[in-house]
């Protein structure tokens, strides 16, 4: 059983945390985020540390203890540094480009795929085959990256498609005579 909740969340310089009841608001250079913690946990601010404790000894309180601590830690990291997911595009004629507030993908279909870019996320294409998604909310960044990858996931024979930069594609051998 994980004991992630035991450890406090350190608040770096330049980040302010405000706790009002069960509402946690975090401000930093990347913006601001807020979270309403469940009633089963108590959140307190002690200097530059945020402590999360279970309010009672129920099973749900112990489950939400670590979850709430992880969500608060992600908010603090998001407003101070931000989260980045890098995608790679492999395939002849496959490319991406940012045009205003739309990501234009050419992935071998008969049409281009236009993905609207949300306001709280930034997308950069340094090369036509590399996409960098950055934002303060880990869930939004990861979800957007997963949606872009789902348009043309990597295939195991030639490795064509959109994949995460850290992902390794297991390659298959193909047909033999």
Domain with CATH 3.90.930.12 in the chain: 4-80, 83-164
* CATH 3.20.19.10 fits domain 4-80: no
Per DSSP (E only), the strands in the chain are 9-10, 16-20, 23-28, 31-36, 41-46, 49-54, 83-90, 95-99, 102-106, 113-116, 121-124, 130-135, 161-164
Q: Kindly report the average pLDDT of the chain as a whole number.
A: 91
Bridge partners of residue 138, in order along the sequence:
none
21-30 tens-digit pLDDT: 889 999 999 8
> In the predicted model, is pLDDT for residue 125 greater than 70?
yes
Token pair for 13: 């310089």
14-52 tens-digit pLDDT: 899 999 988 999 999 988 999 998 899 999 998 899 999
131-165 tens-digit pLDDT: 999 999 999 999 999 999 999 999 999 989 999 99
Q: Which residue has the tokens 């496959």?
A: 94
Superfamily of domain 83-164: Ribosomal protein L6 (3.90.930.12)
Confirm if 16 and 32 have CB atoms less than 8 A apart: no
The Cα-based distances of 82 to 32, 52, 79, 133, 141 in angstroms read 11, 22, 6, 10, 10
More confidently predicted of 176 and 165: 165
């Amino acid at each position: 059983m994980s004991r992630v909740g035991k450890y406090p969340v350190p608040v770096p310089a330049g980040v302010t945390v405000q706790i009002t009841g069960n509402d946690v608001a975090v401000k930093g250079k990347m913006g601001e985020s807020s979270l309403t913690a469940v009633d089963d946990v108590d959140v307190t601010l002690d200097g530059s540390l945020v402590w999360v404790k279970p309010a009672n000894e129920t099973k749900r309180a112990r489950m939400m203890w670590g979850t709430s601590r992880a969500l608060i830690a992600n908010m603090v990291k998001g407003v101070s540094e931000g989260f980045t997911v890098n995608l790679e595009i492999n395939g002849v004629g496959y490319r991406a480009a940012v045009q205003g507030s739309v990501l234009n993908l050419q992935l071998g279909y008969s049409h281009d795929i236009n993905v609207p870019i949300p306001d709280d996320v930034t997308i950069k294409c340094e090369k036509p085959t590399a996409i960098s998604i950055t934002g303060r909310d880990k869930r939004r960044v990861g979800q957007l990256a997963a949606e872009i990858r789902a348009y043309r996931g990597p295939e195991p024979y030639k490795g064509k498609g959109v994949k995460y930069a850290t992902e390794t594609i297991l390659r298959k051998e193909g047909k033999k005579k």
